[in-house]
A and B are shown apart, each in its own frame.
Chain A
Amino acid sequence: MIEIRNLKKSFDGRTVLHGIDATFETGKTNLIIGQSGSGKTVLMKSLVGLIQPDSGEILFDGRNLPTMTSEQISDLRKEIGMLFQGSALFDSETVLGNVLFPLMMFTDKSHEEQMERALFCLERVKLTGAEKKYPSEISGGMQKRVAIARAIALNPRYLFCDEPNSGLDPRTSIVIDELLSDITHEYGITTVINTHDMNSVLGIGENIIFIKDGYREWVGDMTQIYNTGNEALNDFVFATRLFKQVRDYVATHESRTPQR
């Protein structure tokens, strides 16, 4: 479980995060949603220590990140996997090399055991057969999957994903979403996903935090989102006609069928 308390961050006098409080639960897909520029990336980068927050606490199962020494941060990071917006694969390494990389740097296993683990992770993201290709030779969706395989190679306790399905078609997005959701439940990971894709929100949002202009505006899950009274959230999630129709359909459907 990751808890953040009163997290603040400003750049050159402009406040981006105005004291955010949130809890990200273990074994669940935790979503951070919000408009472009609302501070999602800044929040996520603060969570993993790539950005130094001005004040506030970030508790990784009780361990407060902002007061850690750099050695403690290095150790904590061995429990963290992260998926970057642009995949961030090492382009001088093959697909297999990318997944092997963390294993090589941080485990004392024999080469055979490392290979076995890497191939298992690639199989888990359904990429068997692409091991020898370079990142530039595979599609964006495949790159995302390699990045997931690399992120889970060391069995992380915490997984962070910054817009895992930006730039992907809806079908591939769903594949990625389901993969993240499955991995989270299978291994009991604390997963935090940054997104403004409504399919993800309504599909895998078990714990959703809505950020608006650097304030935490709303917290809930994907079922509560349909009948929220929050004006800003409604505007944000049901911005398109299609999603408005989905909401109206769900509303009438629910009122007609008896609740289970």
Chain B
Amino acid sequence: MGLISSLATFGRYCLFIKRVFSVPDRWAVYGRRTVTEISKLGIDSIPLVLIISVFIGAVITIQMQLNIASPLIPAYSVGLATRDIVLLEFANSILCLILAGKVGSNIASEIGTMRVTEQIDALEIMGINSANYLVLPKITAFVLFMPVLVVLSIATALVGGYLVALVTDLISVNRYVYGLQALFQEWYVWYGLIKSLFFAYIIASISSFYGYYAHGGALDVGRASTNAVVSSSVYILLFDVILTKLLLQ
């Protein structure tokens, strides 16, 4: 039963995506909506990304110093480990899990409310492909803006570590900065950026899907938005494993 219903849901998702990715009725309107969504989904997320990144960056640095302090390990390892954790996992996967909560619930509740108040029916009655009109700008905007968020997150997380070096005497600033530069692999940056594009697509499309098929009242919109966050998070984790296997080996 569970398998059949998840297959049915997956089938519906595919049909939904097929409707989303059709040619917009009006390119000008599509462009304008995409810009609005960049501001709503992307720019509005910047403060959250900055705050979380600076703190996590600081915490990672402290943890590294406390856990690997040993005469056998070179002191610059702290900077190196901080940098690699941020590049490989924090600034894409963990960041997207957090954004799934903010952006995913925002998308699902907005589209879900439009569904239960018949605004989507009103679009359909006018002869507009509502899935395309509402969802494509969100997916485009979030996927386009995600790299910006990732780069900002990397930078602020490393600054977080730097602040720890600066204000505490756990590690010297020189060693931290030396560690950040040691044994640098450029591919790690690309790997993080590529993953984040997939995650952005997952968050925007899955949350839209749950919102679009909400039915009932305000309670159901709440449920749709919870399901959207849970589901996006699970798929982010799943694709994290798959992409890591594909990209890092």
A interface residues with partner B (beta carbon < 8 Å): 48, 50, 73-78, 80-82, 84-86, 88-91, 101-102, 104-106
**Cβ of B3 < 8 Å from any Cβ of A?**
no
B126 and A78: CB pair below 8 A?
yes
The answer for the CA separation of A101 and B133 in the assembled complex, in Å, is 12
The answer for the CA separation of A48 and B126 in the assembled complex, in Å, is 10
B122 and A74: CB pair below 8 A?
no
Q: A82-B122, A86-B118 are in contact. List 8 more A-B contacts (CB 8 A).
A: A50-B124, A50-B125, A73-B127, A74-B127, A77-B125, A77-B127, A84-B121, A88-B121
| A105 and B26 in contact, given A50-B124, A74-B127, A75-B127 (Cβ under 8 angstroms) | yes
B interface residues with partner A (beta carbon < 8 Å): 25-26, 29, 114, 117-119, 121-122, 124-128
Least Cβ–Cβ distance between B61 and chain A, in angstroms: 43
Least Cβ–Cβ distance between A138 and chain B, in angstroms: 15
Least Cβ–Cβ distance between B25 and chain A, in angstroms: 6
| A80 and B26 in contact, given A88-B118, A90-B119 (Cβ under 8 angstroms) | no
A105 and B125: CB pair below 8 A?
no
- Which residues of chain B are within 8 angstroms of A106 by Cβ–Cβ distance? 126-127
B121 and A105: CB pair below 8 A?
no
A85 and B118: CB pair below 8 A?
yes
* Most interface-central of B26, B29, B114, B128 (chain A CB within 10 A): B128
The answer for the CA separation of A77 and B118 in the assembled complex, in Å, is 16
Partner of A104, one of B26, B119, B122: B26
Least Cβ–Cβ distance between A140 and chain B, in angstroms: 13
The answer for the CA separation of A105 and B125 in the assembled complex, in Å, is 13
A104 and B124: CB pair below 8 A?
no
- Which residues of chain A are within 8 angstroms of B121 by Cβ–Cβ distance? 50, 82, 84, 88
| 12 A-B pairs with C-beta separation under 8 A | A74-B127, A76-B127, A77-B125, A77-B127, A82-B121, A82-B125, A86-B117, A86-B118, A88-B118, A88-B121, A102-B126, A106-B126
Least Cβ–Cβ distance between A254 and chain B, in angstroms: 42
The answer for the CA separation of A77 and B25 in the assembled complex, in Å, is 14
A78 and B124: CB pair below 8 A?
no
Partner of B118, one of A48, A76, A81, A84: A84
Partner of A105, one of B29, B118, B124: B29
Nearest chain-A residue to B120 (Cβ)?
A88
- Which residues of chain A are within 8 angstroms of B117 by Cβ–Cβ distance? 86, 88, 91
Which 5 interchain pairs have the tightest Cβ spacing? A77-B127, A88-B118, A88-B122, A74-B127, A84-B118
Least Cβ–Cβ distance between B82 and chain A, in angstroms: 42
Least Cβ–Cβ distance between A114 and chain B, in angstroms: 13
- Which residues of chain B are within 8 angstroms of A77 by Cβ–Cβ distance? 124-127
The answer for the CA separation of A105 and B29 in the assembled complex, in Å, is 8
The answer for the CA separation of A77 and B127 in the assembled complex, in Å, is 5
Least Cβ–Cβ distance between A120 and chain B, in angstroms: 19
- Which residues of chain A are within 8 angstroms of B126 by Cβ–Cβ distance? 77-78, 101-102, 105-106
The answer for the CA separation of A106 and B118 in the assembled complex, in Å, is 20
A78 and B29: CB pair below 8 A?
no
The answer for the CA separation of A198 and B122 in the assembled complex, in Å, is 27
